[in-house]
Copies of this chain bind each other. A is one copy, B any other.
Amino acid sequence: MLCASCEARHKGICGVLNPDQLVALSKHTTKKTVSSDQELFSADVPTKSYSNILAGVVKLTKLMADGRQQIVGLQFAPDFLGRPFKQSPGVFAEAATEVRLCSFPTKILEDMISESPELEHRLHEQALKELDEAREWMLTLGRKTASEKTASFLYMIATHIIPDKGTDGNTIRFDIPIKRADMADFLGLTIETVSRQITKLRKAGIIELENNRTVYVSNMNLLAKASEVDRD
């Protein structure tokens, strides 16, 4: 049984399944590795399967007719990926890095939900968490300056990758999991503006870049401050 050693087994939605359910589910799961920039599902196409993210980062995007794009969510292992109770997901999902998935037909999940209230509770909790994050990000998109947006993104990534180091004068080194173009689409900015703001944060001594992707933050307080207030 592969499930026993799975990332999603405890922290993911499978954590609430009992051994029998796990066996039943595992009969229909397939694990796949998807390379960066591959599309996982499309906004208006009826969904046939849901997934657990085992590794990597998935971006959820909205697209306008003229090509403008907004990333509306980033999902990490061991998140559940999909929009339950709806034919089509309403957003595009794309691998932002190489991604490993455990997929299963939508019907399996929906059957299991009706048998297991705990499963629906777990999904409900994740939906509420995503809603909290979406609203937090609406504040960023609507009211923060380009500089604050960029700092907010770095702060969000840093605390997501290395939890419990958000406050205090902690030191952190981490990799930005996505490219500048994706950062721009996440922040509602252009690539050029993102680049300029990173340079600005660097020159202000708030971050150091080891290469374009690796960030070193000597004092997380400074980054936290930069993500809220823009005092040059």
A interface with B by C-beta (< 8 Å): 60, 62, 64-66, 68-70, 72-73, 83-86, 90-91, 117, 120-121, 123-125, 127-128, 130-132, 134-139, 141-144, 185, 187-188, 228-229
What are some 28 contacts across the A-B interface (CB < 8 A)?
A: A60-B135, A62-B135, A62-B136, A62-B139, A64-B228, A66-B229, A70-B138, A70-B143, A72-B138, A83-B128, A85-B124, A85-B128, A90-B132, A90-B136, A91-B135, A117-B117, A117-B120, A124-B127, A127-B127, A127-B131, A130-B131, A134-B134, A138-B138, A141-B141, A141-B142, A141-B188, A142-B185, A142-B187
Given A117-B117, A128-B83, CB of A135 within 8 Å of CB of B69: no
Copies of this chain in the oligomer:
2
Q: What chain B residues lie within 8 Å of A91 (beta carbons)? A: 135
Task: Tell me if A128 and B73 are in contact (CB < 8 A).
Answer: no
Taken together as a complex, chains A and B put the C-alpha atoms of A128 and B123 apart, in Å, by 10
Given A142-B187, A187-B142, A229-B66, CB of A72 within 8 Å of CB of B125: no
Q: What chain B residues lie within 8 Å of A130 (beta carbons)? A: 131
Taken together as a complex, chains A and B put the C-alpha atoms of A134 and B117 apart, in Å, by 26
Closest-CB distance, A159 to chain B (whole angstroms): 16
